[in-house]
Amino acid sequence: EYSHASATEHTCHLSLLGIDDAEHKYNASGAANKVQTLLCDPDSDSKSDLHSVYIAHLTNFKWLRVLSLRGYRMYELPKSIEDFSLLKYLNLSYSYVKWWPSSIGRLCNLQILDLSVSKIEELPKEIGELSNLRYLGLKDIEELKFITEDLGKLTDLQILYRFIVCDDKGDTRGCNIRELKDLNKLKGELLIECLGGGRVKLIDAKNAQLKEKHELIGVNFILRSKRMTEWIMLPKRGVCWRLWNLHMA
């Protein structure tokens, strides 16, 4: 059963898009504990956000497969996110989310995670536990400055768009370009941003085996330590990868 703005105990797919009344949303989400798909958007005419409208009911959605919280004004996800063990799609694009709970690693069935244009500041090591992840949306996240190691464990990843090479942060190891070695299913274009220029070594870049990523059509590099432009030819496929816009920050 599909419902828009209202729900019953039999509702499986619930859309609250375009519903501005916070109380209406609260009642609808509370009635639908068998929902597999939940599409939400922020209240345009009120100051209520996820914590005041949905947080009391989040743990009811044990069967949730698809959750869209696009544009929500929340700074962190609740620890109860771990209860959504069946979740396959999570959309947090344009949201205010800055931090992840460590429990995010328990979403073992997650295949699509969209964080594009969000406020996320770093990706924790638990991201490497999402073994079924195919899509990781990191486009246009200005605040994203640190990714921990273990991203290379996501061997089923197909769409990444952006990969950040980081220096270590205290006792936490940052992501090295070598982590790309086993991500052989990557497709489309990839931006590799090297925030810690001193950590990028030639041997590490070679070990990333970018030429073996046969579904990639282009790779752009941004280095913060020097300015240069260089072409790399891939003779087997006649493809050019351009190391573009290498400049000082």
Q: Between 89 and 1, where is the model more confident?
A: 89
> C-alpha angle 23/38/101, rounded to 5°?
95
What percent of the chain is modeled with pLDDT above 90?
27
Q: pLDDT tens for residues 159-178?
A: 998 998 887 776 667 888 88
pLDDT of 230 > 60? The answer is no
Contact 6, 15 (CB under 8 A): no
Question: Of all helices (H) and strands (E), which one includes residue 53?
Answer: helix 50-53
Residue at 183: amino acid letter: L
Name residue, tokens 């979740």. Answer: 87
The residue with greater pLDDT, 249 or 161, is 161
The model's pLDDT over 84-138, given as tens digits with 9 standing for 90+, comes to 899 999 999 999 989 888 889 999 999 999 999 999 998 888 999 999 999 999 9
The mean of the pLDDT values for the chain is 75
The pLDDT of residue 22 is: 54
Residues forming beta bridges with residue 239, ordered by sequence position: 234
Task: Give all strands (DSSP E) within 93-235, no chain letters.
Answer: 112-114, 122-123, 135-137, 146-147, 161-165, 188-194, 216-223, 228-234
The answer to whether the pTM exceeds 0.75 is: yes
Domains in the chain: ranges and CATH? 69-246 (3.80.10.10)
